[in-house]
Amino acid sequence: MHRERFYTLTASCPDRVGIVAQVSGFFAQHKGWILETSLHAEPDSDSAPGRYFMRLEVKADSLPFMLAELRERFAPLAAELNMDWRITDSAVKKRVVLLVSKQEHCLYDLLARWQAKELDVEIPCIISNHDTFKGFVEWHGIPFHHIPVTADNKVAAFKEIQRIFEEVKGDTMVLARYMQILSPELCAAYPGRIINIHHSFLPSFVGAKPYHQAYTKGVKLIGATCHYVTADLDQGPIIEQDVIRVDHSDTPDDLVRYGKDIEKTVLARGLRYHLEDRVLTHGNKTIVFR
């Protein structure tokens, strides 16, 4: 089950002839062993010129130098291609901070995956506006911060959350059914780094009580959406979605219950894509190299 150490390059640049040849040529000239390659050409549209997206995994010990030098040597080619790019190291675990409220399903699900090393990250702390899961989280050896959020203390509360996230050197913030709308400042501070699970198949049923909205509308499938958080409520780039069938005999409580199974699965999948550097954003959309 253990995979060898590898580096992951994710990059996008204006489309032109020869991008793949140049990038794969760079690695080939250093005998880099490519484990996985994903490519996508987004064609010209009325609003934007064509753009090329790529993700490569290269075996770390196949290269004759370390990550720092890889980055240094790759930079000139990236500059020539006018690339947005980054290279990550599978040996450096991402640091993920969870924000939860009083619902257990996403929290249990993520901690089960973390326990089994399926979710192979550091969780430096978990933050909640309630103390419901303090004992459960601490039993797992993870620090728990109870930061109540009220109408009066919102500014201070979100500042404190940001302070903690910085202090623990968080890479990614996950709203695992956190039930609070983040401040615009917090959203703006971490674009593409805050992940939410919304309990509807967006763009249907934005906002509060989506299962009750779905019940009132009489839809025959309900869903959930994992997306990046932006200042625009429930409108950020969609990473993953799924649905489940319901019928007339299901009450709003039944929809909530079915929905929880979709929410936790969709959040786990979307988070995994993000942590494995499989998600690139393009305007308000995502390219997901599964």
Q: Which of 109, 171, 234, 277 is catalytic?
A: 234
Question: At closest approach, how far in Å is the CB of 184 from its own copies?
Answer: 22
Instruction: Specify the residue for token string 């958080």.
Output: 229
SS3 content of the chain, % helix, strand, coil (to 5): 35, 25, 40
Query: Active-site residue 234, yes or no?
Result: yes
Q: Which is nearer to its own copies, 31 or 169 (CB)?
A: 31
Q: How many CA atoms lie within 13 A of 20 on its CB side?
A: 11
Q: Which is nearer to its own copies, 169 or 285 (CB)?
A: 285
Contact between 9 and 30 (Cβ < 8 Å): no
Q: Which is nearer to its own copies, 186 or 214 (CB)?
A: 214
- Give the ranges where 98-153 is alpha helix by DSSP (H): 105-115, 134-139
Contact between 99 and 173 (Cβ < 8 Å): yes
Per the DSSP assignment, residues forming a β-bridge with 6 are 59
- Cα separation, 90 vs 219, in Å, equals 42
Q: What is the DSSP string of 42-62?
A: EPP-SSS--EEEEEEEEEGGG
Residues in the chain: 290
Question: At closest approach, how far in Å is the CB of 153 from its own copies?
Answer: 28
Question: At closest approach, how far in Å is the CB of 115 from its own copies?
Answer: 5
Nearest to 45 by CA among 285, 288, 289, 290: 285
Contact between 195 and 227 (Cβ < 8 Å): yes
Question: At closest approach, how far in Å is the CB of 62 from its own copies?
Answer: 7
Question: At closest approach, how far in Å is the CB of 84 from its own copies?
Answer: 16
Q: Which is nearer to its own copies, 108 or 190 (CB)?
A: 108
Q: Which is nearer to its own copies, 14 or 25 (CB)?
A: 25
Catalogue the active-site residues: 234
